Amino acid sequence: MGSALFFLTLTSLKTVAKQNQLVRFRMASTAATFGLKDPSLIRTQGFVNGKWVDGEEGGKITVTNPANNAELGTVPEMTLTQTKEAIAAAADAFKSWSKTTAKHRHDLLMKLHRLMLQHHDDLGRIVTLENGKTLTEGKGESAYSASFIEWFAEEAVRTYGEQIPSSMPGIRNLVIKQPIGNGIFTPWNFPSAMITRKLGAALAAGCTSVIKPPPETPFSALALAELASRAGFPDGVINIVTTQKNVIPIGKEICESKTIRKISFTGSTPVAKLLYGIASSTMKKVSIEAGGNSPFIVFGDADIDDAVEGAVACKFRGSGQTCVCANRIYVHSSVYAEFASRLAEKVAAFKIGDGLLSDTTHGPLIHEKAISKVVKHVEDAVSKGAQILVGGKRRDGPGSFYEPTVLSDVPAGPSTFFGQEETFGPVAALIKFETEKEVIELANDTDVGLAGYFYSRDIGRIWRVAEALEVGMVGINTGIIANATVPFGGVKESGLGREGGHGINEYMQEKLLAFGGLDK
C-alpha cells in the first residue's frame, strides 16, 4: 500500500518535473526579453486556484511590443472549462475569505502594497513593454496601481454599518455590509492600475475574483498575481483567465454564472452594453467604466499658460489613450489664436519613440486598429475644413506610431467624428466658441459623460459650468483629476458606479437586521 503510493507519487512527480522544466525554459526566454531585476515576475501561464496553468487545448496568445512589433512572449488561450474551474475556485475561496477579519485583509493588502513598491521599476517596465507608454508613464502607472492597494487596505477596516432608529415599537434596526463576490474585466490602456482599482476594492471588501485581462497586455496582470501569491493571498481568491479567441463565450460565462454576483468592467461602450445586457440574466450588480468624449474648455478669462499645460497633460497622456483624455478642445475666440499657437509649439517639441528610451516623450498607439481610427478622425475633420497645425500623419516604419497632432478650426458638434466618439489617440481638436451658453450645449451634446475640464478664473462661472457639465468628473483649472482617494466614473452612457474613493461599497451589499422580542 505504502510503496504503491510512493510509486504513483514518483511517476507524477517526474511528469510534473518535465512539464515544469519546459515551462521554466519558456518563462526564462520571455523573462529575458523584459530585462527585469526580478525575472520571475514574468508569468506565461494563467492563474487558477493558486496554480499556474497552460491553456487546456494548448492554444497561445502572442503578445507584442507596440513600439517595434517584436514578440514579447505568449500566454495561454484558456477555455470555457478553465473559466468554469476559475469561477468554482473563486466561489469556494469566498466561503473562507469573506469570513476573514477586515484587519487580516488590510494586513495582506499592505503586504502586497510593499511588494509592489519594492518591484516598482520592474512593474513599470512591464507596462511600458506591453503597452508602449514611456517608462516615466509606466512607472507612474505602477505607483498609481500600488496606491489603490494601499487605499483599499485602509478602507477595508472602515466598512461601518449603521444603527437606525425604529419606526415600530419593540424593534431595533441594524444595517451591516457584506461582501458580494465578483468578476473583473480590464482594458489595455492601464494594464496594472485598472486591475488594482477593482481588485483592491474587491479583496478589501472580502470578495474573491476572476479576472480577464486584455490579450494585448496580460503580463502586468500576471505579475500582480505572482506578487499577490508571494504576499500570501489564499488559493482561489485571485484567478486570472487569459483569452483572445474565446472572449465572447468566456465573458458570457462570467456574466451568466449564478455564483458570480458582481461584474466590474472597464472598456468600450459597445462591449459594456453587451456585458450589462447579459449580466441582467442573473441580476448581477454591475460597475461599468466605459468610454468618454471629454470636453476641455478654455474661457476668455483663463490663465493661458495653465490651460496649455493642462491640455498637454490631459490630451497627450498615454499618447491620448486614456478614457479621460480631452477629445474636444473648445477655446474662446478671444484667446483662440494664442492658445492654438502655444499648444502647437509644445506639441511640435514632442519626441515619439520607444518608451524605454530616455528622450522619448510619447510612445506608440497600442495597435494598427487604433491608428486607423485616428487617421479616420483626422482625414474627416480636414475634409470638413480643419487645418493641421502640427503632425497629421502616421509614422512609417516598425511600431504603431501616429504623430502628435494639433488641428485648428475643427467644426463644432457631431458633424465630425470628434463630436461623436473618442479618438483615443494623440490629436488635439481645437474648436472655436463665443458664449458660455453655447459651449455648455456643445459640451453636453454627446451620449457619454465621463470627464470634463475647463479653465476660468471667474468664481460665478466656475460654479455654473461645473454644475452644468453632464459628466462624472470635472477638472477645474487642472488637466489631471484621478487619484485613488477620489471617486472615478461617469454619467450617461459612460457607465455606472464609482471606483476609488468610497468605491469599496460597490463590492458590498447592505443587509438589514431587524431585531424584535428584545423587550421581554
Ligand X SMILES: *[C@@H]1O[C@H](CO)[C@@H](O)[C@H](O)[C@H]1NC(C)=O
Record the cell numbers describing residue 6, joined without a space: 510512493
**Pair type for strands 451-455 and 294-298:** parallel
Least distance to ligand X, CB of residue 280, Å = 28
Question: Which are the contacts of 76, defined by CB distance < 8 A and separation ≥ 6?
Answer: 44, 45, 46, 53, 54, 55, 59, 60, 61, 242
Identify residue 333 by its one-letter amino acid code. Answer: S
Least distance to ligand X, CB of residue 226, Å = 23
Nearer to ligand X, 444 or 505 (CB): 444
Least distance to ligand X, CB of residue 315, Å = 16
Nearer to ligand X, 52 or 144 (CB): 144
Record the cell numbers describing residue 413, joined without a space: 458638434
The angle formed by the CA atoms of residues 268, 288 and 112, to the nearest 5 degrees, is 105
Nearer to ligand X, 306 or 441 (CB): 441
Least distance to ligand X, CB of residue 441, Å = 3
Q: Which residue is nearest to ligand X (CB)?
A: 444
Nearer to ligand X, 329 or 465 (CB): 465
Which stretches of the chain bind ligand X, using CB under 6 A?
A: 144, 440-441, 444, 468, 470, 480, 482-483
Q: What's the gap between Cα 496 and its chain centre?
A: 15
Nearer to ligand X, 41 or 482 (CB): 482
Least distance to ligand X, CB of residue 398, Å = 31
Please return the burial class of 435, using the count of CB atoms within 10 Å of its CB with bins 0-12, 13-18 and 19+. Answer: exposed
Task: Give yes or no: 314 in active site.
Answer: no
Q: Could you tell me which of 339, 247, 345 has the C-alpha nearest to residue 298?
A: 339
Catalytic residue (one of 137, 141, 253, 289) = 289
Please return the burial class of 511, using the count of CB atoms within 10 Å of its CB with bins 0-12, 13-18 and 19+. Answer: exposed
Least distance to ligand X, CB of residue 509, Å = 29
Nearer to ligand X, 109 or 374 (CB): 109
3-state secondary structure of 282: helix
Record the cell numbers describing residue 138, joined without a space: 509606466
DSSP code of 412?
P
Least distance to ligand X, CB of residue 442, Å = 8
Instruction: Give the Cα separation of 196 and 211 in Å (integer).
Output: 11
Instruction: Give the Cα separation of 17 and 355 in Å (integer).
Output: 38
Please return the burial class of 151, using the count of CB atoms within 10 Å of its CB with bins 0-12, 13-18 and 19+. Answer: buried
Q: Could you tell me which of 212, 439, 448 has the C-alpha nearest to residue 323?
A: 448
Catalytic residue (one of 207, 314, 323, 325) = 323
Using an 8 Å Cβ cutoff, are 219 and 54 in contact? no
Task: Give yes or no: 207 in active site.
Answer: no
Nearer to ligand X, 303 or 441 (CB): 441
Q: Report the catalytic residues.
A: 289, 323
